[in-house]
Homo-oligomer: A and B are copies of this chain.
């Protein structure tokens, strides 16, 4: 990429945003489409912002092929906030089942315990390879209001490559997926999903926006203690404008949706994710110098944690990476090591540059 002037940013979130999106946002900062004011300064109820929000919603619906019967909501609060807001809206104060596959599902379990009778029906905790437990072994409860999974664990690098078919497992409980860190990197099978949510700051845009896609029949069951700003029924009835939405974040998300459409849609993002992750895992697997601990079938295509066998070399690895324009490769503090987050905005060339550095570093330090 001889024309690239910016470094490659492997941050897990907030994360890289396509150059084209940032350039457009900068160009329109003081004057959106000739209206004389910038997007941050617009009333959320004016026709300009209503158009921005409507296009963002329509583009997201098109990209993910969200069927009629599902509502798209734009909220605040992030993934952690949503881990409380989902049980407020969907648990009915009853039973909620969880599959625990890493740090984020663990957090969601802790939040839900405030509102519901929570059971962990399967876990990979304690397993050496972090594989996703076989759905046929999940101890699903018949009376559960829903089953929650984190379909891509950002910290642990564990991904569901297919969503479980709960009907086939003998329950009509809706499936809730936290798809924050792989939304728009692959299609979603909506026949298996009741609610999907995602914080925008990983694969979409700026922090401060949470996207919720929810089946109509799951609206209207919020617990009485649910703040109205977070009551899905109220938010849906008001087109996500019951309170002031995070307008700038919706705008940047919308620009990103248009960028994905212009670059082949989710099918192209899916193919690129396969290509990029294969390149990186092959490089890691080709040597004992680096280690990835996740079972091959459960490896994330978005977040690739890895360790240097000799961790005393960590600082040298990171310093050399930075010199080569490869940023934010340090692993999450809870697991250590390294992590390369390779979301939609990461070009294949960025992964090739990282692979070249992995090989160069091993040659000089191996």
Chain A interface (Cβ < 8 Å from any Cβ of B): 6-7, 9, 11-17, 19, 22-23, 25-27, 29-31, 36-38, 40-44, 46, 76-81, 83-85, 110-111, 114-115, 199, 201, 205-209, 224-230, 242-249, 252, 325, 327-328
| Contact between chains at B227 and A111 (CB < 8 Å) | yes
| Contact between chains at A80 and B328 (CB < 8 Å) | no
Q: Identify the interface centre among A13, A30, A244: most chain B CB within 10 Å of its CB.
A: A244
Interface residues of chain A: helix, strand, loop or mixed (majority): loop
Residue pairs across A and B with Cβ atoms less than 8 A apart, 16 shown, are A13-B43, A14-B43, A17-B38, A23-B29, A26-B30, A36-B327, A43-B328, A46-B328, A77-B77, A80-B229, A81-B227, A81-B229, A81-B243, A114-B224, A207-B247, A248-B248
Closest 5 CB pairs of A and B: A208-B246, A84-B227, A80-B243, A26-B29, A76-B76
| Contact between chains at B36 and A17 (CB < 8 Å) | no
Query: Which residue of chain B is the closest to A19 with respect to CB atoms?
Result: B30
Q: Identify the interface centre among A41, A110, A229: most chain B CB within 10 Å of its CB.
A: A41
Q: Identify the interface centre among A31, A206, A249: most chain B CB within 10 Å of its CB.
A: A206
Contact of A114 (CB < 8 Å), options: B12, B37, B225, B247: B225
